[in-house]
Amino acid sequence: MEENFKRLAGQIARVLNLSEQTVADYAESDDAIKGLGTAFKDFRTKVDTDGYQRGEERLSRKVEKALKAKGIETPDLDKLDDALDAIAASSSGKGLDQLSPEEVAKLPQVKKLLTDAENAKMLAVSEAGKKAEEQLKTDRENFAKEQLHAKVEAQARKIIADLNPNLNPDSAKAERQVSRLLTDLKSGGYKVEADGTLAPIDADGKYLGNGAGGNKSFAELVRETVTAEYDLPESKEKAAPGNTTPAGSDASYTGPKTQAEYEEKLNLTAPGSAERTTLMDSWKAYKEKNQPAA
């Protein structure tokens, strides 16, 4: 993940002509990320300006070429008025002092020349703006995707560690197995809920079902992905992540025993799911039973 982020930061740095460290600093907070947006805006302004200047250069070359084709031996865009006067005089048979500005403007050659010049300039600006807009869109999408993948990996690693699947005893090989699981999970779609939890969604943006009438939680999806390839310890096979039973006796209670454990498990369940309701009821019963007497 760190390598992917470095590659993304390097790409953005090259586009914006910034250092990779400056780009990385922008990702530290929501306020800092605004600086990246400003940098993108400055980049867009520069691209527009450069595109306009290139358009003017193309325009100058094209106009001077057209003037030369019309008999102006040493065309110069800065002396366009003199060249137009010469063309008008040649086309109409009148002397230079006999042509009015209105007559010059009505000459077909002059009208076409000016129209072509303006079109060439506008096309250059439009092409530069379109290219810059596409680049900004791609960079923003890639950045958002990297952030989502980082969140998926962080939460999935915690769940996988809790499930403790029977991976290869060699730590390096086990890490490669976990990496493959993470790659599979990152290929899916997710919605980040208001409380920060990840909710699996399909290609149409709809929540995935859990087969019991509720929405599938991220923990359930991770468990499905892991158990499709690896066995779990017997204790993990008997209970899904976050699944608890109402507190009857301390020996039978398998739910969270601290507020921190409760909040962590709550973040791994889907909003409105039966799993979350069971967890909340179980935690409430456990707290009431183990509340110190006043």
pLDDT in tens, 227-264: 988 888 876 555 554 444 444 445 567 778 888 787 77
Highest mean pLDDT (candidates 35-44, 99-108, 272-281): 272-281
pLDDT tens digits for range 182-227:
999 999 999 988 887 899 999 899 999 988 888 899 999 999 999 9
Structure tokens at 46: 């520069």
pTM to 2 decimal places: 0.42
Which H or E run includes 201? strand 198-201
CB 182 within 8 A of CB 157: yes
Enumerate long-range contacts of 145-148, CB under 8 Å, 24 or more apart.
Answer: 146/4, 146/5, 146/8, 147/27, 148/190, 148/192
CB 173 within 8 A of CB 230: no
Give Cα 105 distance to the centre of its chain.
51
Q: Scan for tokens 């005893």, then name that residue.
A: 169
Give me the pLDDT at residue 35, please: 67
Q: Does 176 score more than 90 pLDDT?
A: yes
Give me the pLDDT at residue 67, please: 61
Q: Does 272 score more than 70 pLDDT?
A: no
Give the domain ranges of the chain.
Answer: 2-152, 164-289
